[in-house]
A and B are shown apart, each in its own frame.
Chain A
Amino acid sequence: EVQVLESGGGLVQPGGSLRLSCAASGFTFSTYAMSWVRQAPGKGLEWVSSISGYGDSTYYADSVKGRFTISRDTSKNTLYLQMHSLRAEDTAIYYCAKKTSTSGFDFWGQGTLVTVSS
């Protein structure tokens, strides 16, 4: 059974840093691209970042480019999102999602809440 489980969320002050993790199981981790998607309170889904199966290609939304870094450790079947210079507008539930081989994100976690506030 495919599972992805996020962790690492919490309360952080503006300008601070946080690292999210996503533990994956039930599939060959290095075969599939992975992504982070977030949902701010009362708002819709926003794609944040994606990384290729072997981690050699990364992509970012303009809203986080230069502040967030996506990475993966295939030996641990774990996806990461390192977040720096956090802003109030980064407050959201962050979801980890496995991408299909074409379009679509076919397995999602339950999300981890990041709150940026003083």
Chain B
Amino acid sequence: QSALTQPASVSGSPGQSITISCSGTSSDVGGFNYVSWYQHHPGKGPKLMIYDVSNRPSGVSNRFSGSKSGNTASLTISGLQAEDEADYYCNSYTSSSTWVFGGGTKLTVL
């Protein structure tokens, strides 16, 4: 199972919006509405930010939103804040009954 494709890095200034893409195939991202997104700060456990493509867990800011079109999912962060600087990973269920992560995207807040 190959990792989903994410950009290695994205950046934005405070207050701006950024979008991170996550490309897969019809056997994972495109085949199921089971895409989730994680924020990961070094030394800590990852934090679930979005599940089932576009749902936010309780406590996650509404500045975070998710969507999907075809085989590509996206995470958008609006009103960027310094505390958003972290690594972000997408994850999808697959037709093999397994799960696959994206390679990760490092977000830098300028």
Interface residues of A (CB under 8 A from B): 35, 37, 44-47, 50, 59-62, 95, 97, 100, 102-106, 108-111
Docked Cα-Cα span, A95 to B40, in Å, equals 12
Closest 4 pairs between A and B when the two form their complex, measured CB to CB: A104-B51, A108-B45, A103-B34, A44-B104
Contact B99 A102 (CB under 8 A): no
Interface residues of B (CB under 8 A from A): 1, 3, 32-36, 38, 40, 44-48, 50-52, 57, 87, 89, 91-93, 97-104
Contact B1 A62 (CB under 8 A): yes
Contact B45 A45 (CB under 8 A): no
Look across to chain B and name the residue whose beta carbon is closest to the beta carbon of A63: B1
> Per a CB cutoff under 8 Å, which of A47, A95, A97 touches B98?
A47
> Per a CB cutoff under 8 Å, which of A47, A104, A108, A111 touches B100?
A47
Contact B36 A104 (CB under 8 A): yes
> Per a CB cutoff under 8 Å, which of B44, B46, B92 touches A45?
B46
> Per a CB cutoff under 8 Å, which of B47, B50, B87, B99 touches A47?
B99
